[in-house]
Amino acid sequence: MDIEEKIKEVTVQLEDLKKRLPAHSLKPSMWAQLEELEEELECLQQLARQKEDQ
One-character DSSP codes across 31-53: HHHHHHHHHHHHHHHHHHHHHHH
pLDDT in tens, 22-47: 888 888 998 999 999 999 999 999 99
Domain ranges of the chain: 1-10+25-54
* 1 sits in which H/E element: none
Q: How far apart are CA 3 and CA 45, in angstroms?
A: 8
Amino acid occupying residue 37: L
Cα 38 from chain centroid?
4
Q: What is the pLDDT of the chain when averaged over all its residues?
A: 92
- The 3-class SS string of 19-30 reads HHCCCCCCCHHH
Confidence label for 12 from pLDDT (cuts 50, 70 and 90): very high
Residue with more model confidence, 19 or 23: 19
